[in-house]
Amino acid sequence: MRNDQLSLQSMDFAVAVINLVKELKAKHESVISNQIGRSGTSIGANIREAQYAHGRADFIAKMQIALKEANETDYWLELLYKTGYLDEPTYKSLDAACTSIRVMLIASVNTTKRNNK
């Protein structure tokens, strides 16, 4: 098990997304639940892949993919909130977690790029 902050937060977020997907499927919502399930769990998977990247360029590419997935997940969260599938406290909590991960991803990519010069 990984114990760095980004890995821990992305794993916790993936668990929260999976639990959300279960709730959505119980409400017979399958289109968005499938989308957010894929993008929300892909964040941590790409972070995990980046940890064994083949050099800096591969690391940056994997982290940027994770960032794109986080941005997509944020879109689905907002859509679920605006369509009434998520209440405001749940939306705010998941959105804050997703934003925190994005901030760390951006910092990691920028630091790696700076150190690559």
Return the pLDDT at 46: 96
pLDDT tens, the chain, 117 aa long: 455 899 999 999 999 999 999 999 999 988 999 999 999 999 999 999 999 999 999 999 999 999 999 999 999 999 999 999 999 999 999 999 999 999 999 999 999 988 866
1 DSSP 8-state letter: -
Q: Could you give all domains of the chain from N- to C-terminal order, each with its CATH number?
A: 5-115 (1.20.1440.60)
Residues 74 and 48: their CA atoms lie apart, in Å, by: 20
* pTM as predicted: 0.92
Please give the pLDDT value at position 3: 55
Residue 47, Cβ density class (10 Å: 0-12 exposed, 13-18 middle, ≥19 buried): buried
Sequence-ordered list of residues with C-beta below 8 angstroms from that of 13, at least 6 positions apart, any chain: 40, 43, 44, 94, 97, 98, 101
